[in-house]
């Protein structure tokens, strides 16, 4: 059995597949980046297992995370979402998803979401070399700067810890530990969506 990052439960196939196939691969697709930011926010205060198990439900409720479609949701559509058991029914988070979509559309006028987010690492993945999970930070100056900038643009649920988890998941930083079998190839390109891993203990 390959060695994986210590946050991956050895008997959880959902986590294993997510770690092996998604987490830490550089992500550049606008829709996928938007999805990831929203799912990061949905996780706030909850177990990541709860969100990962509901990812398909979120995609169904929020139109596949199309920024254009979600930005056009009216209040009736959001109220209907609040009654849908496939997602976490938190009013601020549900309404915040629409605000995030509208912020994504505004960003298109100045380069777009992908260019904006990757600017915090100079446009290429930051290669780290942590030997254990205990060394990995939960936030960095770059994540704090990203959080401030996203909030100024109108994004919701984008605190520094959420932003750093996003950076890890989207491959802006390589935080696979050096003993993990995915460490060497984490920089391979990916166009798939990848929500964040669980909070470090």
Hey, which bits of the chain come out as E strands?
Answer: 126-127, 173-174
Residues 6+ apart with CB under 8 A from 4: 10, 16, 19, 20, 180, 181, 182
Active-site choice (7, 18, 58, 164): 18
- CA–CA distances in Å: residue 53 to residues 2, 17, 76, 87, 97: 24, 12, 26, 10, 19
Q: How far apart are CA 80 and CA 52, in angstroms?
A: 22
Active-site choice (7, 15, 23, 48): 48
Active-site choice (30, 40, 142, 168): 40
- CA–CA distances in Å: residue 37 to residues 70, 101, 164, 197: 14, 10, 11, 13
The pair of three-digit structure tokens given for residue 139, joined into one six-digit string: 């936030």
Residue ranges in 82-132 assigned as alpha helix (H): 91-107, 113-118
Q: Is 48 a catalytic residue?
A: yes
Catalytic amino acids?
18, 40, 48
């Amino acid at each position: 059995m390959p060695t994986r990052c210590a946050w991956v439960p050895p008997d959880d196939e959902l986590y294993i597949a997510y770690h092996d196939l998604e987490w830490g691969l550089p992500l550049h697709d606008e829709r996928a980046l938007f999805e990831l930011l929203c799912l990061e926010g949905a996780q706030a205060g909850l177990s990541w297992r709860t969100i990962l198990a509901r990812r398909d439900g979120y995609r169904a409720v929020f139109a596949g995370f199309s920024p254009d479609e979600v930005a056009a949701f009216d209040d009736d559509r959001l109220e209907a979402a609040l009654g849908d058991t496939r997602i976490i029914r938190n009013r601020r988070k549900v309404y915040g998803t629409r605000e995030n979509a509208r912020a994504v559309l505004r960003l298109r006028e100045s380069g777009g979401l992908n260019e904006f987010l990757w600017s915090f690492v100079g446009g290429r993945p930051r290669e780290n070399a942590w030997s254990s999970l205990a060394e990995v930070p939960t936030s960095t100056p770059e994540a704090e700067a990203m959080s401030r900038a996203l909030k100024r643009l109108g994004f919701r649920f984008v605190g520094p810890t959420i932003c750093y988890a996003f950076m890890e998941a989207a491959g802006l930083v390589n935080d696979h530990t050096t003993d993990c079998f995915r460490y060497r190839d984490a920089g391979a390109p990916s166009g798939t969506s990848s929500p964040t891993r669980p909070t470090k203990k």
